[in-house]
Amino acid sequence: KDLGLSELALKILENEEINGRTFFKVTKEKLECHGMKLGPVTALVDFAKEYKEKKLRSFSSYKTKKELNEMLCKYGIVSGDITCIPQFIPPTHTINESTPKFKLCIDNILRRIKNMGPVVNSNKSMQCKYISTILHTADRAVGSEELATKKRHIEEIVKKK
């Protein structure tokens, strides 16, 4: 949008199916041979080079305080105090503890935990299984369609990776 490309330039990109990774491999010559004018070609290639070189970094990878402060300023955190970053607050759901479904879920959790035994000296895999059991059963206890949708979405993302 910010590149100010004409409809013709966009059509050429669309017709040549230039998107995703192929966009970053585009050269001036390739675009010019398909009929794109010099102005849009230069803008696109410069844009592709700029974003190809720009890599995402985790906050912990900044070596100096100055580097970190510069990056935080980009995101509107001027004081340098990371406590200003808003924390994620998960939504709460009310559960009717007197329903048979809830009691069944609690019994299910207790049965599974008893079958697994103590996890104090267990490996990480067993501890994760322990926690997963509690979370999945709690999810069923809530019975929220919103939670089920989010769970399916997360599972789809995990499968893609």
The model's pLDDT over 1-31, given as tens digits with 9 standing for 90+, comes to: 466 666 766 676 666 666 666 666 666 666 6
| Number of compact structural domains in the chain | 2
**68 lies in a domain?**
no
As a whole number of angstroms, the distance between CA 137 and CA 151 comes to 13
Model-level pTM?
Answer: 0.29
The model's pLDDT over 82-118, given as tens digits with 9 standing for 90+, comes to: 676 667 777 777 777 888 877 887 788 788 778 777 7
Instruction: Calculate ∠ Cα 11-14-17, nearest 5°.
Output: 150
CA-wise closest residue to 52 among 21, 18, 97: 21
**110 lies in a domain?**
yes
**59 lies in a domain?**
no
Query: Which residues form the domain of 118?
Result: 100-160
**91 lies in a domain?**
no
